[in-house]
A = this chain, B = another copy of it.
């Protein structure tokens, strides 16, 4: 019987790294609730970018240089796809395709994404629970002055090279948290909830927008600690800072903290952003300034331990 001690909320690369650090501390006690807003079907394959990055990272097979995809990946599938006239803007490695094909087959049979991901995690030797935020597809739609775009069109095909005016999560009103995610959040052993340094708009917001999930997180009783994905005014990876500016917010740790005000008890920033500490504190959060950049696997574990210690000092919510 699994006793969840830690719940992490995560998107892709940065979230997966901190989740990996947490798994190195207590693999069996960790449940990661992962964004599925990026999920899409491409060339008939069911792709869940954030879940896959978490699976590959915790499974120890992620490409270390780029953070996503499989280490030592090969590209014969893509070469042939291009030769056959297929789309080439989304790069799918040969090993990666195996996961998408297997998942697609089971989804079309009517299986739940949660059950499929649990089997994949088991096959990769992952002891932590990798939990989709919902079994209902909730595709992120990016609003731009030129109209609405599916997320991967914006993110990969257009390389984020259009300004955003907003986001919506299509069908979110019909989505439900999974029993597994609610059970993890209801664990009597729960000691901390960690909001990983993922994009607040397109990684964490989708999770918090699943009806009932934000409430379950807030009511879990464990201290909630978030790690800023913005360091020194820039995103460690990805378009978070660009999005913040385009939406009229400060591209700063403080800007991220403002989005989490009312939910989060403690906020972790980098030393580079110490000047924001007072203003973040004024939002009603404790602040921990540390080295918020995870340079290697030891760095992941170090930051994870600091988050857990920070949560421990904050104590249980009432």
Contacts and interface: CB of A to CB of B under 8 A. Distances in A.
B101 A44 contact: yes
Given A44-B44, A44-B108, A94-B94, A102 B77 contact: no
Interface residues of A, number: 35
Nearest to A106: B44
Interface stretch (A20-28, A82-90, A288-296): A82-90
Contact of A105 (B43, B95, B105): B43
Contact of A101 (B81, B85, B120, B122): B81
A220 B97 CA distance: 45
29 contacts: A41-B105, A43-B98, A43-B101, A43-B105, A44-B44, A44-B45, A44-B102, A44-B108, A74-B74, A74-B76, A76-B95, A77-B94, A77-B95, A77-B97, A77-B101, A78-B98, A79-B95, A80-B94, A80-B95, A80-B96, A80-B99, A81-B101, A84-B98, A84-B102, A85-B102, A85-B120, A85-B123, A94-B94, A97-B101
Interface string A56-96: 00000000000000100110111111011110000001111
Q: How many copies does the complex hold?
A: 2
A110 B189 CA distance: 50
A254 to B, nearest CB: 42
A46 B105 CA distance: 11
A99 B119 contact: no
Contacts of A41: 105
Contacts of A81: 98, 101-102
Contacts of A99: 80, 84
Given A84-B120, A102-B84, A97 B95 contact: no
B43 A102 contact: yes
Contacts of A29: none
A98 B101 CA distance: 11
Given A44-B108, A80-B95, A102 B74 contact: no
